Amino acid sequence: MKKILKTILLILVATGLTACGNDTDSEDASGNSSSGGTTDVEIGENVLVAYFTEPEETGTDALAGASRVVEEGEVVGNTQFLAQIISEETGAELFQIDTVQEYPADHDELVDQGDQEQSEDARPELAAEIENLDDYDTIFVGYPNWFSDLPMPMYTFFESHDFADKTIIPFSTHGGSRLSGTIETIEELQPDAKVYDDALSISRSEVAGSRQTIIDWVNGI
Ligand SMILES: Cc1cc2nc3c(=O)[nH]c(=O)nc-3n(C[C@H](O)[C@H](O)[C@H](O)COP(=O)(O)O)c2cc1C
């Protein structure tokens, strides 16, 4: 049954037909029933914004994958766009979660590779780790929704960093699935961290116009 659902999702993602209607949400009505997370957090003194992004080339149909935003002449991924605004707003440093093996820019190839990694429960090797994690008390962590889950490099990321006693504030972009169960997954991967469960989740169709939404969300924490 899970396989059938995944196949349907894969087709929707590949054709860009996943619903793109929603903008920001805190995932109450959408199936994200956080349990161990909390909204009782404060942004500390020492803040880092870590994010994973894979901007795609979509050929003629820009809406099919629409995973990039042009910001002041520079092409950035959707999640990167959110990360940059959060960094500006908080004064936090940015850390891009990158893999040793580059992902294909082509939408279909990227979807195939992401699908294969998820099927294999892969842990793609990261190009770098956060070396001075001890210096930070609050880490915003951003990622795109991939197959209603975290992209597999995010598993590598959470399994190779210890966020015990730190605050994790997740944010995400998606093509219709919103946060899926990713907040619970982060809570499972980092049981000793405080995970903010009123996470930001923005549809790729809304990302380019979402600056104020992002700022309001940060200021509401
Ligand atoms: C491999 C892959 C799988 C995806 N799976 C989903 C999905 O299951 N649900 C969804 O809503 N969007 C899905 N998307 C769409 C991305 O979440 C969306 O385009 C996101 O904004 C990309 O962010 P980025 O530009 O920072 O990489 C998928 C995209 C890719 C490349």
pLDDT for 184 equals 97
pLDDT for 38 equals 85
Rg (CA), the chain: 16
* Largest Cα span, the chain: 47
Pocket of ligand 1 (CB under 6 A): 9, 13, 18, 53-56, 67-68, 77-80, 110-111, 114, 144-148, 173-177, 204
**115 Cα nearest atom in ligand 1:** 1
pLDDT for 170 equals 98
pLDDT for 32 equals 37
Would you state the structure tokens that stand for residue 127, as one six-digit string?
């190009």
pLDDT for 72 equals 73
**77 Cα nearest atom in ligand 1:** 25
Strand partners, 51: 96, 142
**Ordered structural domains, the chain, with CATH:** 2-220 (3.40.50.360)
pLDDT tens, the chain, 221 aa long: 555 656 555 555 555 544 333 334 444 433 334 456 788 898 989 999 999 999 887 654 444 445 677 777 778 999 999 999 999 999 999 999 999 999 999 999 999 999 999 999 999 999 999 999 999 999 999 999 999 999 999 999 999 999 999 999 999 999 999 999 999 999 999 999 999 999 999 999 999 999 999 999 999 99
For every residue of 150-178, which 3-state class applies, written as one string? CCHHHHHHHHCCCCCCCEEEEEEEECCCC
Q: Which residue has the tokens 């901007």?
A: 55
For every residue of the chain, which 3-state class applies, written as one string? CHHHHHHHHHHHHHHCCCCCCCCCCCCCCCCCCCCCCECCCCCCCCEEEEECCCCCECCCCHHHHCCEEEECCEEEEHHHHHHHHHHHHHCCEEEECCECCCCCCEHHHHHHHHHHHHHHCCCCCECCCCCCHHHCCEEEEEEECECCECCHHHHHHHHCCCCCCCEEEEEEEECCCCCCCHHHHHHHHCCCCEEECCCEEEECCCHHHCHHHHHHHHHHC
From 107, 112, 146, 177, give the residue whose CB has the most ligand 1 atoms within 8 Å, as the site to mutate: 146
Angle at 115 between CA 99 and CA 175, to 5 degrees: 90
From 115, 204, 206, 214, give the residue whose CB has the most ligand 1 atoms within 8 Å, as the site to mutate: 204
pLDDT for 179 equals 98
Q: Pick from 93, 102, 99: which is nearest to 45 by CA?
A: 93
pTM surpassing 0.75? yes
